[in-house]
Each structure stands twice: as C-alpha cells, then as structure tokens.
Amino acid sequence: MATQAKPRLDPETAYEVISPESYAHWDPLLDTFDRLREEAPVAWVEDPEGRHPPFWLVTRYDDVMRISKDNATFLNNPQTVVFSLTEGIEFAKNLTGGSPHMVASLVTFDAPIHMKYRKLTQEWFMPKNLRQIEDEVRELAHKTVDRLLEAGPEADFCKLVSQPYPLHVVMQILGVPEEDEPRMLMLTQQMFGGQDEDLNQSGMKDLPPEAITQLVAGAVKDFEAYFAKLTAEKRANPTDDVASTIANATVDGEPLNDRDMMGYYIIVAAAGHDTTSASTAGAMLALAQDPEQWARVREDRSLLPGIVEEAIRWTSPVQHFMRTAAEDTEVGGQEIAKGDWLMINYVAANHDPAQFDNPRKFDASRSPNRHLAFGAGAHQCLGLHLARLEMRILFEALLDRIETVELAGEPARSKSTFVGGLKTLPLRFTPA
Ligand code: HEM
C-alpha cells in the first residue's frame, strides 16, 4: 500500500501511555486520552527507553469496537496479547520453545481452535447455569461482609472485601480448597509479575533476571503439578464445577493436553479475580462519594444492576488488550501494515465522549450503556455474567447490612498498564 506518514507520539506522551505509574493517576491519564482521541486517535508509540516493541495505540470507541469484532483481520497471534517488555517476550519464547505466550489459553488462540476451546465452558458461564452457584456465592459474600463489620467502623474495603471475595469465588468454581488460595495467589503473581509493588508479594521486582526466570519456570511447574492432581480428582469424581467441565472435556475427540488444560485453569483463575476486584472497589467508591445514592439503592434494589454496569464501565479494570494485524489494513483512516501490533485501549474507549455523555461522571442511569470493558467479538469476556452476578450478590449483602458509608481517607490506584484499579479504599460505615 502507499505509505502514509506515521503519527508518532512525542516521547513524553509515549512514556505516559506505557508507564504503569501513569495508570495510578487517573484524571491526568484520561486528559491524555481525550487529547489523543482528538489529535491522533490511532497513534504510533515508540518506547523512549526502547524496552518494549512499538505499537499502534487506538483510543476511539468506534475503532476499538471495530478491531474487537473483526477477528479475522486483528488476531491474538503471533504477538503477545498483553503489552510486554521485549525481554519478557524473549523469556517466554525460551521457556515455551518459541511461543511468546507463557500460557496457552483462550486469549492466545485464534479461529478455528479458539471457538472449539471456548465452547467447552461457554454453557457453564451462562446465567442459566450460574443460578446453581448463587447460594454458594451469597454465602461467600456474607462471610466477607462479616469480616468487614468485625473490623469496623473504619476499614480498607480493598483489603477486606474487594480483593479476597472474587478470589474466593473463582477458587470455589475451580474446586481449589480455601487453604490453597494463598499459594494460588502467589503463583499467579509470580507468573504474571504484577507491576505494583504493594500488590505483588512475590518479591520479584528486587531479583536479577536469571532469578526471575527460575521463579517463573518454577511457578509454571508448580501449577502443572497442582492442576494435574486436581484433574485426576475431577476425572475420578466429577462434580458440577467448572474444573470438572475442563478436566473431562474433549476437543476433536481427544482430552486436552497438559499445557492446554493448565492454560484453561489459569485463565479462569487469573482473569476472574483482579478484574472483578477492581470493578467492585470502583462501585463502592462511587457509592461512598454519594451517600444519597447509597440510601436510594438501599430502598430500591432495582437500581443495583445499573450501578454494577456503570461501575464496570467507569473503572474499566482490563485497561487494554493487544492485537496483531493479519494483513495490510486501515483503522480510522490510518494505514496499518500486516504484522503491526495494536493496543485496543478500553479505558480510552469507555471515556469517549462521542459514545458516552460526560464520561467521567458515574451515572447509574446511563441507557444504553454499551461499554467495552468486557471487550467485544469472539474473545468477549467469558466471565461477564459471573462478574455481574458476583457484584450484585455482594452489594445486596452490603446494602442489607450497612446503613451508611463514607470515605475515611484517600483511595489509591495501582500502578499497572494491564489490569488496574483501586488498591486501597478507606471507608467509615455504620452497620444496619
Ligand atoms: C476475557 C474483562 C471478569 C474470564 C476478557 C476480556 C476482557 C475482560 C476485556 C478480553 C475481551 C476481548 O479480547 O475482546 C473482564 C472484566 C471483568 C472480568 C472487566 C470483571 C468486571 C471475568 C471473570 C472471569 C473471566 C469473573 C471468569 C471467572 C475471562 C476469560 C476470557 C476473558 C476466560 C478469555 C475469553 C476469550 O478469549 O475467549 N475479560 N473480565 N473474566 N475473561 Fe474476563
């Protein structure tokens, strides 16, 4: 194709959009996305420090939607689906024997294999099936609220509620006993190397690269061993949890191999907790900042689904995914070459004023609220009904048992380019 000049971001803006630190400072970041949507909605980003491969940053809602839905032109292969350090990509290739994806899972598959794997659990994650687990989830929600009330009248909502609760739910659906949860959490943190030092307890940030290599390789082996045992149990005694569905699944008449099976467990474990933690904390922040809204929804629970949906848009816990162009194409009038890497930025898309009036406002009555926080197209979040259900059930319990709630200090956001949100939310509350 005819070559068009690339709208390159200046080094300062490039640094801002790739630095985990910027994601802890929400309003300035949203200001930058507002500017980019106007000036360079499809912008070429080169890391001023040369630590990441270059990519296209896509910030408009319509463009993010189009890329998400065109799964033939914009692939989840062969480059990574999460913005990564070049060193990390090389490291994954060494570990896996050529694949940049540390773990093979739904997010790293394209058609036709992707749909075959997705179909295995799709039914399980539908609202009809999830009704079966509502009572268990409600029990977990009430236990979580018990711990909050015991710690009151002031407590950190993230530490006591929004972080542990989604992890408990996900571990329950995977059949991982409560005593193994800390181990699972540590393993996911070691594998995915969380970027915020307060949240990543693995101590990895202080280690030299060879030691990190060893640690990650060890975590992969540990996971494999853990889930091999779980698989054997679920094959011998299947229950109706999602782990049994995965353990007993077949693709083209064959059971899943170890790498694919492990990838399936890990994607459910990893995708299911930090994300819902972030939207849950965001919903509580919005309500704590607006005591009248808390009082209103206590009286009228039909307002709750609107609050849940708006919290998911307003927080956009998954801040981006990456795609690779399968052929020469264009996005928003910008030529894109075959093989180029693109960042579809959900935070920017969900704050696009062309789609959402007054996008920074938390407005539970927004209708329609067609946000992109769960993505769109073939890879749209598999757990979206579960995430909504978890949040609804938790807030029902909180609204039943807490009469008033307000902020008791400054909330703080995590430093992370991928999954992000509040890491502390100090609250003061009065029990009902
Ligand atoms: C994929 C967001 C909760 C499991 C995704 C994607 C996003 C996302 C943006 C990628 C979509 C795309 O590429 O178009 C969220 C948010 C959540 C949430 C914001 C909470 C508010 C969950 C939960 C689970 C889950 C609770 C399961 C326990 C998955 C899986 C995929 C996925 C398995 C991969 C789907 C595929 O590639 O086919 N999620 N997620 N997510 N999510 Fe979620």
Q: Residue 198 above 90 pLDDT?
A: no
What lies within 8 Å, CB to CB, of 62 at 6+ separation is 332, 352, 354, 355
**CA of 39 relative to ligand 1 center, distance in Å:** 30
CB-based pocket (< 6 A), ligand 1: 68, 106-107, 118, 170, 267-268, 271-272, 275-276, 279, 312, 317-318, 321, 346, 373-377, 379-383, 386-387
**Ligand 1 centroid distance, CA of 383 (Å):** 5
* Contact residues for 358 (Cβ-Cβ < 8 A; gap 6+): none
Atom nearest to 376 CA in ligand 1 = 14
For residue 276, report the distance from its CA to the centre of ligand 1, in Å: 10
pLDDT of 211 over the 80 cut = no
**Residue 210: per-residue pLDDT:** 65
Residues 200-215 have a mean pLDDT of 68
pLDDT in tens, 331-375: 999 999 999 999 999 999 999 999 999 999 999 999 999 999 999
Nearest CA to ligand 1 atom 2: 374
pLDDT of residue 167: 92
User: In terms of C-beta density within 10 A (0-12 exposed, 13-18 middle, 19 or more buried), how is residue 152 classed?
Assistant: middle
User: Mean pLDDT highest for which of 110-124, 211-225, 226-240?
Assistant: 110-124
Ligand 1 center to 375 CA (angstroms): 8
User: Considering only CA atoms, which of 264, 49, 265, 277 is closest in space to residue 167?
Assistant: 277
pLDDT band, very low/low/confident/very high, at 259 (cuts 50, 70, 90): confident
Indicate the pLDDT class of residue 188, thresholds 50, 70 and 90. Answer: confident
Q: Which of 244, 119, 120 is nearest to 174 (CA)?
A: 244
Q: What is the three-class DSSP state of 8?
A: strand
State mean pLDDT over 307-334. 98
The number of the ligand 1 atom at minimal distance from the alpha carbon of 107 is: 37
Interior/surface letters 95-134, b for 16+ CB within 10 angstroms, e for the rest: eeeebbbbbbbbbbbbeeebeebbebbeebbeeebbeebe
User: Distance (Å, rounded) from C-alpha 133 to C-alpha 47?
Assistant: 45
Instruction: Determine which of 67-76, 179-188, 410-419 has the lowest per-residue pLDDT on average.
Output: 179-188
Residues 6+ apart with CB under 8 A from 286: 293, 307, 310, 311, 314, 362, 364
Beta strands in 284-326 (DSSP E): 320-325
What is the rounded CA–CA span in Å between residue 341 and residue 380?
A: 19
- Using 50, 70 and 90 to split pLDDT, how confident is the model at 2? low
pTM of this prediction?
A: 0.96
Beta carbons within 8 Å of 432's beta carbon, 6+ residues apart:
400, 401, 402, 403
Q: Indicate the pLDDT class of residue 217, thresholds 50, 70 and 90.
A: confident
What would the two tokens of residue 209 be?
């690269």
Ligand 1 atom 4, closest CA:
383
Mean pLDDT throughout 160-178?
93
Residue-level pLDDT at 92: 83
Query: Which of 67, 119, 374, 395 most suits a substitution to test ligand 1, by most atoms within 8 Å of the C-beta?
Result: 374
Q: What is the largest CA-CA distance in the chain?
A: 67
Closest CA to 314 of 398, 379, 371: 371
Position 1 confidence tier, pLDDT thresholds 50, 70, 90: low
Are 269 and 184 in contact by the 8 Å Cβ rule? The answer is yes
pLDDT digits (tens, 9 = 90+) for 3-26: 778 999 999 999 999 999 999 999
Those residues with Cβ within 8 angstroms of residue 347's Cβ, 6 or more apart along the chain or in another chain: 29, 30, 33, 316, 319, 320
In this structure, how many other beta carbons lie within 10 angstroms of the beta carbon of residue 66?
18
What is the ipTM for the molecules in this complex? 0.99
What spacing in Å lies between the alpha carbon of 169 and ligand 1's midpoint? 15
Whose CA is closest to atom 21 on ligand 1?
Answer: 276
Most confident stretch, 171-180, 217-226, 267-276, 289-298: 289-298
Rounded mean pLDDT, 47-60: 96
Residue 205 scores a pLDDT above 80: no
Q: What percent of the chain has pLDDT over 70?
A: 95
97 has pLDDT over 70: yes
C-alpha 49 to ligand 1 mean position (Å): 31
**What is the dihedral sign for C-alpha 402, 408, 414, 418?**
positive
Q: State the residue for tokens 């406002």.
A: 361
**pLDDT surpasses 80 at 203:** no
pLDDT at residue 195 is higher than 90: no
* Residue 194 pLDDT exceeds 70: no
C-alpha 330 – ligand 1 centre gap (Å): 26
What is the position in ligand 1's atom list of the atom closest to the CA of 315? Answer: 19
Query: pLDDT at position 77, please?
Result: 95
Taking the centre of ligand 1 as the mean of its atom positions, its distance from the CA of residue 268, in whole angstroms, is 9
User: What is the per-residue pLDDT across 107-136, written as a single tens digit (0 to 9) for each?
Assistant: 999 999 999 999 999 999 999 999 999 999
